[in-house]
Structure 1
Amino acid sequence: MTNLENWVFNNLLLLFLFFGFCKSRDTITPTQPIKDGDLLVSKDETFALGFFSPGNGTSNRRYVGIWYYKISEQTVVWVANRDKPINGTSGAMSIDQHGNLVIYDDNSQHVTLWHTNVSAPVMATSNSYSARLLDSGNLMLLFQGSDTKNESFVAWQSFDHPTNTLLPNMKLGLDRRTGLDRFLTSWKSKDDPGTGEYSYRMVPSGWPQLVLFKGSVKLYRILPWSSSKASEKFPIGMLKSSYIDDPEEVSVAYVQVNGSSLSRFFWDELVGGLKMDTWVDVEGQGKGKGKWVEFYSIPNERCDNYGLCGAYSYCDDSKFPTEFECTCLPGYEPKSANQWNLRDASGGCVEKKRAGLGMCRNGEGFVKVEGAQIPDTSWARVAPQLRMNECEAVCLMNCSCTAYSSVADSGNCITWYGDLMDVKKFDDVLLEWYIRVDADELGKTTVGKPSAPVTDQHLKKKKSIRVDKKNTIVVTSVVVMLALIISLVCWLVMKKARRDVGFNNQASDVEKLELPIFDMITIAAATNKFSDTNKIGEGGFGPVYKGQLSSGKDIAVKRLSTSSKQGVDEFKNEVILIAKLQHRNLVRLLGCCVHGEERMLVYEYMPNGSLDSFIFAGVEKKSKSFTWSTRLDIIVGIARGILYLHQDSRLRIIHRDLKASNVLLDSEMNPKISDFGLARAFGHDQSSTKTERVVGTYGYMSPEYAIDGLFSMKSDVFSFGVIILEIMSGKRNRMFHHSDHDLNLLGHAWNLWTKGRAFELLDPMMEGSFPMSKVLRCIQVGLLCVQKCLEDRPMMSSVLLMLVSDSAILPQSKQPGFYIERSSIETHDQSLLKSTPSINEVTMTCLAPR
């Protein structure tokens, strides 16, 4: 080879090596992790992922984050190990043997500091996974399928787990199918990306809205659909937002119209609020040299502060500081005149007191509230396909309805019950709403409008009223006196009834529930005087009767037994909790009846009775209607109901007595969870508690609850797992016996699963063809739910996803709780409990783990 040829060859080799090694890398594989100092760069070099130190970069704390790659100011938009930093530069990020993205410290024997927690398929290997940084800023963990199509599936993505920044096309909101909740959380400070106390999230209850919280306290709210409409009016045409509210999800996202500019919506720790910033290059300094320019921020006005003026009032920023910014809504007056004069509106406003007038059946009507945004919709009710006049009629018929509105483009009728909170003056109102006022208030001033001028006709009308008043004063006095006497008698009767039922000072709360009260005569007539032929069951609360109202509607009446261990507290608990719940997989409470010592609950009638009557029924009943598809639909329906209780209802509710007999089936075999006498309500910032009074049913209670009195959402998950295994096997957990061992149903299922013989668990009477893979999947989900350690059990959102999605990856289950072999004496002792009621008070001395 000549010198020229050598020179050409060497230079070509150098060029090849240069371009080969300088090509940006955007993917992590099991054999290609990244270490501190390495970078992943997205394909178009918009974003980078790597290790960083917050603030000025001098800190020894290292985090894995994503930031903009091409701009001069490092701007982090997502942090993985935000609450578990690495001290020093010994960190690494890779894919482990289970297919999870993990962050670990090389100096601490690979102690995992953060991981993605995906569930790998049984046959999957770590080589099936890779992680890629996209140009959108989304880090995706991909699972490569082994089928002929060679398709990739998203096992996890950072867009589903935002930190303090919302990027274009990233959603905020709830996936109703899986329970995945996407929301922003603040950094602790500009130098600490740890989870802060502020969050910005979608509140799906009532009429969905976006709310900024400090802990559990509301600071600011906005309707996401109005944000979507408002985005169409942005003067610079940079952004538009999309809002989705359907059975699958409720979410909002913004889309960047001008793809060449960079924008972000984030929590700014310096100003203590949410901001939208856009990157602007400074002319003459080169591309990427510039600064972030504020587009808008919230909250930015005094009236943005949630509930500044209290209930039944509105806030007007244009009045501040020369005038008091708070004004009572029409028909209302300050609750405390002294506080109001001191510019303290925390007490809000109350209905004006007028003799003989009121808001129910006294000629009341509605006044349009001009130039003000609608009140907090968290507890509003939504009825679809109603015009404005129909919506008004719905509200007028209900004395507790305080306001209404109708969304023209969707036909949704929104009605409010109880306090109207967080109303503020708004120049560009996108929704009209109307407040209920008494007869005297009709025709008077509306918000933002001056009073009508006084004319001669008004004066003549007033004079005529004075003459009529003189002529009718005697009649009026008599009517008022009679009304007072009747009201006093009614009040005494109602007070006694409420005292008997244990409502006492909480009577007003029950009234707000608008729960119908049935009289004893109606219930007795409906149930044929509680005839034995009408009796359809009996539980811990007492006997249950089928009845039929005069309208022809079938009902189920649960009558408190005098010998029942349940009483006033359980009765009241069930009334208050279930009356607030609305879900297709929860039984509907129609009303209650209180008569002397009698306490009854009236439910919708479930023609197919309880689930246990099918699971443990004979051949004939099972073969007709308890097929594989029916069993699967029931399992999924129960899961949806539990997920609603745990996550989607206004309060987080732990049922505490989930079992097959507390699941009822309607005429189409749809499951409905019932019996909320033992349920407990938590705030959404509370996850568990401990009790000295352990109540529930043997065979369904989780170990930590039965032994230590600790209950949480994972307690219900355990009970649900028992139900799954009972449905699949047709056997009771507590009464299960096998000739080869003394394990209960959970232990038997676990034993078969570990030996690869789980199919032997199946109910031999299950009719129809069924896919074995789906059947085994259900059994595996059941075993995951009954794992001994509550930390190992999945949340109900994950459980539902594993049940409805074949692509969801299931982890390997660990041993269940209460499955250990029993001695013959223990087995005999437990059999003595067969005839006990379904509700038991349990002490530590009488509980035998099994």
Structure 2
Amino acid sequence: MGWCHVGWSQVGRGSSNESSGVLNYFTWNQKSNEWFLMFSLQKDLCDAYSRCGPNGICNGNQVPICHCPTGFVPKVTEEWYSMDWSSGCVPRKPLNCSTNEGFMRFPNLKLPDNSYAMQSITTNQENCADACLRNCSCVAYATTELIDCVMWFGDLLDVSEFNDGGDELYVRMAASELESSAMDKVTLIIFWASTILAVLLLVLVALCVLWKRKSGRKIGQSVEDACHDDKPGLEDLELPLFDRSTIAAATNDFAFANKVGEGGFGPVYKGKLSTGQEIAVKVLSKDSGQGLKEFKNEVILIAKLQHRNLVRLLGCYIHAEEQMLVYEYMSKRSLDLYIFDSQEGASLDWQKRFNIVVGIARGLLYLHRDSRLRIIHRDLKASNILLDSDLNPKISDFGLARMFGGDQTEAKTCRVMGTYGYMSPEYAIDGQFSVKSDVFSFGVLLLEIVSGKRNREFYHPDHDFNLLGHAWILWNDERAIELLMDPFMENLINTSEVLKCIQVGLLCVQQCPEDRPTMSSVVLMLDCENPLLPQPRKPGYYTDRCLLSNMESYFSGNDLSITTLMGR
């Protein structure tokens, strides 16, 4: 049996003063002909580390947010009554390492802090349970897509519960607790069955009344529409609205010297407020392929998201057809200026590149699973990754992002938009997108960071494949470390870490979405020192350059950052 330390990133759990929006809407002032953007924001109380203490479980959608799992009780009952959960929970019946012990399943969890976790190489879940029972110090175990068996020793810290998604945790308990839990489940099933029947009857009566009155919402209203409805009764908070004069003064009246870039949305200017704070101002160009819909989409989504690897929106300006977004300024600008430049690329040694890769993966995992919303970015690329003064990466540009609700995992569109070279095959050809579409884009970006070469513009004298095809050839020839490594990096590199990144990148760009890992698995792969990774299959777009160029001429709408397959 082999062992290695496992490292989970506590993605999506920031400090307690971070918040994520739950409602926003635009209002029109007829007197001044101005759009005003309103938001209702709600604190994510589970952001603080180990909010509910040892063995406690935090659920931001419940009141109170902390509870003890089945088989556990508050350590200090009086403190829990006063909303002080720091002492956590203890087993109702202490373990004595006897044969009369088993495991209780807890689904939809963010797994505990990995400080006392160990990985075991086993063959199945049953063997993992046996291994845990044989060790008197083992209190819980879990199995994931990537790792067969992970066991915890000591208190379970920083556990959160989701409405859906997450992982399953099996907690060790006395046999009497398991039997009591089984009886409680039968009683609970009877109770809920009766309750559901009563509720269904009430719903049928209400629907009949609504049908007769021909009022109320249409059944099946989409989640996206519902998010734009006015919700009275919530405390409304405004996103800061900047005056044009303030923005003009900060950017020296949008001087060309202050222009730091331009994308599909429009030009971006650097500025400094009177307070000394540096800002980046994104101006919607009249010639831009994006319009008010994409502008509102970006503002709505970014205002709801708070994570260290996502760019922070400070405010906006909207007046008639003039629209601007004000962001925190990223002094190192975008990632593409470094990895594709021979001089700047030399300043990014391997450790810095690896840290950037991990940061992007954590930000994407937050979008896909750990935020209140499930967000598909749809335009992840090197120019949309911004770097702060410490070279920490932040995902930006949410104009094309889509929000999923409930149990939705994929969608289809007739308006395919994104950047050629990063789009997954199923999205570019059929308009089908999901979290696996972002995983594909991440894989392309990862191989670009390692190699220092653009997927779209890659050239090799021996063949006509793009970067993905070239990487696949080199991987099969066991020469990846020799030819994929960016020649601009002069310092010593971690060979095994580079090969792991190349393998993870190839796993992410596999042709079939079902074969690609989730971002939670990607983060685990990157964090574990010597993970057992599956062999990648043939990547998407593994074809001759001539065929790809024909596709590109058909798909491309412009040469900036947005590619459209249909007229906009």
TM-score normalised by length of structure 1: 0.45
Task: Choose which of 66, 72, 81 in structure 2 pairs with 1:224.
Answer: 66
CA distance, structure 1, for counterparts of residue 543 and residue 558 of structure 2: 24
Q: Secondary structure at the match of 1:819?
A: coil
* Mapped partners of 1:618, 1:236: distance in 2: 59
Which amino acid is the alignment partner of residue 839 of structure 1? I
The one-letter amino acid paired with 1:601 is L
The answer (yes or no) to whether the contact 2:73–2:92 under 8 Å persists in 1 is no
Distance across 2 between alignment mates of 1:716 and 1:235:
41
Q: Do the aligned residues in 2 keep the contact of 1:729 with 1:761 (CA within 8 Å)?
A: yes
Partner of 1:676: 398
Which of 731, 743, 748 pairs up with 2:453? 731
Which residue, out of 322, 335, 359, partners 1:611?
A: 335
SS in 2 for 1:806: coil
Match of 1:272 in 2: 188
1:791 aligns with 2:503: no
Shift in Å, 1:771: 1.8
Q: Is the 8 A contact 1:513 1:579 kept in 2?
A: no
Distance 2:305 2:354 in 1: 24
The CA deviation at 1:633 is: 0.3
Number of corresponding residues: 428
Over 3 Å counting, the alpha-carbon distance change for 1:510 and 1:597 in structure 2 is farther
Superposed CA deviations along residues 478-533 of structure 1, whole A, max 9, x for unmatched, are xxxxxxxxxxxxxxxxxxxxxxxxx9975989984641111111111111111111
Change over 3 Å in CA distance of 1:645–1:256 after alignment to 2: closer
Q: What CA deviation, in whole Å up to 9, does each residue of 1:237-271 have, x standing for no partner? A: 63699x99879863279988978876564596633
1:601 and 1:615 map into 2 onto residues whose CA distance is: 27
Question: Take 2:90 and 2:283, find their aligned partners in 1: how far apart are those partners?
Answer: 64
Q: What letter matches 1:553 in structure 2?
A: Q
- The amino acid across from 2:393 in the alignment is P
Change (3 A) 1:823 1:236: closer
* Closer, same or farther: CA 823–509 of 1 in aligned 2, 3 Å: farther
Q: Looking at secondary structure, tell me which structure has more helix per residue.
A: 2
Give the equivalent residue in structure 2 for 1:418: none
Q: Supply the AA of the counterpart residue of 1:541.
A: F
Looking at structure 2, the residues matched to 507 and 255 of structure 1 have their Cα atoms a distance apart, in angstroms, of 40
**Partner of 1:600: helix, strand, or coil?**
strand
For the 8 Å contact 1:570–1:677, the answer to whether it is kept is yes
* Secondary structure of 1:609 counterpart: coil
| CA apart distance, 1:225 | 5.4
Amino acid corresponding to residue 820 of structure 1 in structure 2: T
Is the CA contact 1:558–1:602 (under 8 Å) kept in the aligned structure 2?
yes
Residues 237 and 257, structure 1, Cα contact 8 Å, conserved in 2: no
Name the TM-score, length of structure 2 as normaliser.
0.66
Who is 2:100 aligned against? none
- Range moving further from structure 2, 826-835 or 647-656: 826-835
- Say yes or no: does 1:777 pair with 2:500: yes
Q: Secondary structure at the match of 1:715?
A: helix
Equivalent position SS for 2:269? strand
CA 244–785 in structure 1, closer or farther in 2 if over 3 Å, else same: closer
What amino acid does structure 1 have at the position aligned with 2:335?
Answer: L
Structure 1 CA distance for aligned equivalents of residues 315 and 233 of structure 2: 15
Tell me which residue corresponds to 1:195: none
Q: How far apart, in 1, do the equivalents of 2:176 and 2:293 lie?
A: 62
Instruction: Indicate the structure with greater strand content.
Output: 1
Q: Which residue of 1 aligns with 2:376?
A: 654
The residue that corresponds to 2:529 in the other structure is 806
Q: Name the amino acid aligned to 2:66.
A: P
The letter of the residue matching 1:270 is V
Cα offsets for 1:811-848 (capped at 9, x unmatched): 0000000120122893796599697120121249xxxx
**Aligned match of 1:842:** 565
Whether 1:765 and 2:488 are equivalent positions in the alignment is yes
CA distance in structure 1 between the aligned counterparts of 2:112 and 2:551, rounded to whole angstroms: 55
Deviation string 1:421-443 (CA, Å, 9 cap, x unpaired) is: xxxxxxxxxxxxxxxxxxxxxxx
2:539 is aligned to 816
Of residues 629, 645, 660, the one that matches 2:351 is 629
- 1:104-503, aligned counterparts within 5 Å? 144=1, 151-152=2-3, 176-177=9-10, 204=46, 223-224=65-66, 230-233=74-77, 238=93, 250-251=158-159, 265=181, 270-273=186-189
Q: Is contact 2:455–2:468 with CA below 8 Å preserved after alignment? A: yes
Distance 1:717 1:258, change over 3 A: closer
Contact 1:203 / 1:210 at 8 angstroms: preserved in 2? no
The separation in 2 between residues aligned to 1:744 and 1:834, in whole angstroms, is 20
Q: Distance in 2 between the 1:641 and 1:761 partners?
A: 25
Aligned 8 A contact 1:239 1:256 in 2: no
Q: What is the distance in 1 between the residues matched to 2:449 and 2:90?
A: 59
Find the aligned partners of 2:236 and 2:442 in 1 and give their Cα distance. Answer: 32
Q: Which residue of 2 aligns with 1:594?
A: 318
What letter is aligned with 1:669?
L
| Distance apart, 1:659 and its partner CA | 0.3
Gaps of 5+ in 2: 13-43, 78-88, 96-103, 105-109, 116-156, 161-168, 200-226
How many angstroms apart in 2 are the aligned matches of 1:511 and 1:742? 58
Residue 303 of structure 2 is aligned to residue 579 of structure 1: yes
* Separation of aligned partners in 1, 2:243 and 2:353: 39
Distance in 1 of aligned mates of 2:440 and 2:547 = 26
What is the alpha-carbon distance in structure 2 between the residues aligned to residue 235 and residue 776 of structure 1? 43
Q: Could you tell me how far 1:675 is from its partner in structure 2?
A: 0.3
Change (3 A) 1:299 1:548: farther
Hey, what's the Cα distance between the residues in 2 that align with 1:268 and 1:788?
A: 46
1:459: which partner in 2?
none
- Cα distance in 2, alignment partners of residues 236 and 595 from structure 1: 60
* C-alpha distance in 2 between matches for 1:244 and 1:504: 33
Q: Provide the rounded CA distance (Å) in 1 between the counterparts of 2:91 and 2:417.
A: 61
Of all paired residues, the percent bearing the same amino acid is 53
SS of the residue corresponding to residue 577 of structure 1 reads helix
Q: Cα–Cα, structure 1 residues 834 and 668, in superposed 2: closer, same or farther, change >3 Å?
A: farther
